[in-house]
Chain A
Amino acid sequence: MEKLIYLDNAAATRLDDRVMEAMKPYFFDRYSVATSEFGYSSGIEAREALDEARSKLAGALGAEEKEFIFTSGSTESSNLALKGIAMGLGSKKGKHIIVSKIEDFAVLYSARALEREGFKVDYLDVDEFGLIDIHQLEERITPETILVSVQHGNQEIGTIQDIHQIGRICREKDVLFHTDATHTFKRIPLDVTRDFADLITVSAHSLHGPKGVGGLYVRKGTPLKKIMDGGFQEFDLRAGMDNIPGAIGFARAMELVTEEENTKLKEMRDSLIKMVFEKIPEVTLNGHPGNRTPQNANITFHYVEGESVTLHLDMYGIAVSTGSACFSRSLESSHVIAAMGGDHERAHGSIRFTFGRFNDLDEIGFTVEKLEEIIKNLRRISPLGKREVK
């Protein structure tokens, strides 16, 4: 068995050893719960460590310490953003929310849940590259609109939205703006002041940090209602025991991301795309040709089905994911590719490669070499393609 070539870093990443080192003491030596400044000393120390991690993460977004709350991951963050604002403003200002059609499920299904509760939701179209239409957004905003939620970088195709523009429109029209930055935090610049964001979802799992830790930036004064009741943690916005090792790990993971690393990810991304297009005919790049997250390449190999491709790659120790219905537990094909106007065949044959800190260019070369062989073999047995190549 060859070594694992892991190209599914959007789904999860290998923990960086240095993150583990930073977290360790908070499991074994300083394991106290964070207490108030009137508690016992180890609890006060835990509180200080938690606040330091919070301060670092808030700082990375250009925010203040008290504007960053820890959660269990981006799913919880986005749920809190949408449902918390709906609860906080729904009866005061209005019941209208705007999201894009290509949001991750946490945003999309939170919006649908709110629809069932009587909210009206507009789903913004995207163009063939996955970009929303700014004018459509402007048109859809009404005096009842309480929140616009448009992601920063897409989870499947990597397309980066112009959130600066989106944020400015929302600010001008006095509408709150949430962006899911799970796949862009520390990968591309993001600043709460410059980008006019009121709520931002981030997560440690995509940055070689621990799973089960995320955060939500909440601008000071934002009328967010807590949706999980219990204690008074996280400025009384999110009850539940503080995950101190997780918070420390998230902050450390954030610090370890460098510009050099992002450049290296871009090199791997561009190199894979270039090699695939040189070596394999009948392929389509999904997403924007230039405006995409450094770690994402998504390509449709026509006339073949994605689950077959992933299984063949898996046999060579290469892990990727696909937008094919067969791969998903729901047996539904990618809603992102459908929203871009792609048909079922384009979704079924789409393969997502996402790169991380522990990949290198040799792995990319090996992957393309194997892909070339696999696609050739699968096309040989496919009834499509022969009569439909134009």
Chain B
Amino acid sequence: MTFPYNDIVLEHFKNPRNVGSMEKPDGKSTEGSPACGDMVSVYIKVDPDTKIITDISFESYGCASNIATGSIITEMAKGKTLEEAKKITWKEASQALGGLPAIKAHCSVLAVEGLRGAITNYEEKHGLSASREATTVEVVRKKLKKVMNPMMGLDLVTTNLVKEIEVKEGVVHLLIELPENHQFSAVIKEEVKEKIEHLWDVKNVIIDFVG
């Protein structure tokens, strides 16, 4: 038989390692959305003293290369320090899998972003030195660029749904142009909170819908 992927990819696709969500993860990130085709969530547990990733798991809504990359990257990151794990590249993951079709790069890069996202999430929660910057309007805007507008397949900022961003004494106030009862309002609200609420100097996130 001639499959579109090599044996290592197929092995990880058939028997993905470290699969599933995690109860009370120390760090978590979801990248992509059904609109853009693929979606990956990565969960990590971190030893607070050594900063070593002691446990890791992932979930995938995606094609074979997405699943296989998620699988291999959890194997590669487990037991590494956050600094080491951060440096794992898509190229290294792809090499560990014996190569992926070039056209599938965008599906598999999500897993790498997921891992980095989970690490950033951990660092931001703990106000670690590397990311101990104040949360400004610009920081919030950057975060919102990671939230998809499910109607367009592009992010909230690019599709102009975010009308106002205000940051004052740890309170982030957002104005989103969408009726409160719109079918996607709840999902967007949840995802926005997920991206901002945990930031070390943020006390509260208030989201208002207009339109």
Asked whether A315 is an interface residue with its Cβ less than 8 Å from the other chain, the reply is yes
- By the criterion of a CB under 8 Å from any partner CB, how many residues of chain B are at the interface? 35
Beyond contacts A326-B63, A344-B153, A348-B34: 4 other A-B pairs, Cβ-Cβ < 8 A, are: A305-B66, A314-B1, A326-B107, A382-B59
Whether A308 and B62, one on each chain, are in contact in the complex, defined by CB atoms closer than 8 angstroms, is yes
Take A381-B59, A382-B61, A384-B61 as given contacts and tell me if A343 and B67 are in contact as well, using a CB distance cutoff of 8 Å.
Answer: no
Interface residues as binary, B1-31 with A (CB distance below 8 Å gives 1, 0 otherwise): 1011100001001101001110000000010
Contacts of A348 in B (CB 8 A): 34, 37
Candidates A305, A325, A381; contact of B19 at CB < 8 Å: A381
- By the criterion of a CB under 8 Å from any partner CB, how many residues of chain A are at the interface? 28
Whether A384 and B63, one on each chain, are in contact in the complex, defined by CB atoms closer than 8 angstroms, is no
A residues with a Cβ closer than 8 A to B are 1, 303-305, 307-308, 311-312, 314-315, 324-327, 329, 331, 333, 343-345, 348, 380-384, 386, 388
Kindly provide the distance from the CB of B15 to the nearest chain A CB, expressed in whole angstroms: 10
Contacts of A325 in B (CB 8 A): 37
Candidates B19, B36, B63, B187; contact of A307 at CB < 8 Å: B63
Alpha-carbon distance between A140 and B132 when the two chains are bound, in angstroms: 61
Q: How many A-B residue pairs have CB under 8 A?
A: 79
Whether B60 and A383, one on each chain, are in contact in the complex, defined by CB atoms closer than 8 angstroms, is yes
Candidates A314, A331, A381, A383; contact of B30 at CB < 8 Å: A383
Closest-by-CB residue of A relative to B13 is A311
B residues with a Cβ closer than 8 A to A are 1, 3-5, 10, 13-14, 16, 19-21, 30, 34-41, 58-64, 66-67, 103-104, 107, 150, 153, 187
Contacts of B36 in A (CB 8 A): 344
Whether B103 and A344, one on each chain, are in contact in the complex, defined by CB atoms closer than 8 angstroms, is no
Q: State the main secondary structure of chain B at its contact with A.
A: mixed
Alpha-carbon distance between A382 and B58 when the two chains are bound, in angstroms: 9
Closest 6 A/B residue pairs (Cβ): A326-B63, A383-B59, A307-B63, A345-B34, A383-B41, A381-B19
Whether B62 and A326, one on each chain, are in contact in the complex, defined by CB atoms closer than 8 angstroms, is yes
Candidates A311, A324, A380, A388; contact of B4 at CB < 8 Å: A311
